[in-house]
Amino acid sequence: MSDSCTKIPPSLATAIVHYATSNTTPQQTLEEISVTARVLQKKSPCNFLVFGLGHDSPMWSALNHGGRTVFLEEDGSWIRTVRGRFPALETYHMTYRTKVSQAEGLLASALKSTDCAGWNSKCPLALTELPAVFYEVEWDLIMVDAPTGYQPDAPGRMGAMYTAGMAARGRSAGVTDVFVHDVDRVVEDKFSAAFLCEGYLREQVGRLRHFTIPSHRTTPAVAFCP
């Protein structure tokens, strides 16, 4: 048997060593992680976009072995720290211009605005400083587990959830699985329901919601939410 058949993939080997030598508890529970892992088992290798860079990032990359897993992170110093330990992870710095304290007003404005029903940079929730890779790839899975949203002056995940939903609707064909963590918080609860849509909700386990959003390009007359 050749070495190529028996050797453990580098991403998996790195993840095994990391978790075997770490006592850091992941942000998500085993039950929550298992929801995304089951979808990855069916879809990988695929294109997987993750808002957030955390202790679970090597795991997501390993579970999508052979695919492309991209992490978008707000904290530049944390990116440098993680890159030092896991240089193979594909990470990009993100800048957010919103604050959690603005969430209620942003939601009310977006729900009234026709600009937010389509892919329009005029929508106040649209992320305008995404890396080029975001537009170059059609994403099969999107995880929203960042940016920070636990205090009024934190950027919040309003734009990330809106952008995830629009990316799913804008793909050429097929379905995008979108996962949102921390839905016990008001912002994640309300914005995921509004822009990922309760009609697309497939399951909720703990603080994680799983949505399956079809392309709207193939059926342009379809309603924003079913």
Count how many domains the chain has. 1
Tens digit of pLDDT for each residue in 75-108? 999 999 999 999 999 999 999 999 999 999 999 9
Higher pLDDT, 207 or 25: 207
Residue 22's φ and ψ, nearest 5 degrees, are -115, 145
Average pLDDT over all residues of the chain: 90
Find the domain containing 33 and state its range: 3-214
pLDDT for residue 64 is more than 50: yes
Does residue 20 surpass a pLDDT of 50?
Answer: no
pTM of the model: 0.90
Q: Is the pLDDT assigned to residue 53 strictly greater than 50? A: yes
Q: What is the pLDDT of residue 1?
A: 44
| Whole-angstrom distance, CA of residue 195 vs CA of residue 110 | 10
* Per-residue tokens: 32: 């929550």
pLDDT at 189 over 60: yes
CA distances from 14 to 126, 178, 184, 191 (A): 35, 26, 32, 35
53 in a domain, yes or no? yes
In this structure, are strands 68-73 and 141-144 parallel, antiparallel, or unpaired?
Answer: unpaired
Q: What pLDDT was estimated at residue 115?
A: 85
Q: What is the CATH number of the domain that holds 81?
A: 3.40.50.150
pLDDT confidence of residue 125? 93
**Are 122 and 115 within 8 A, CB to CB?**
yes
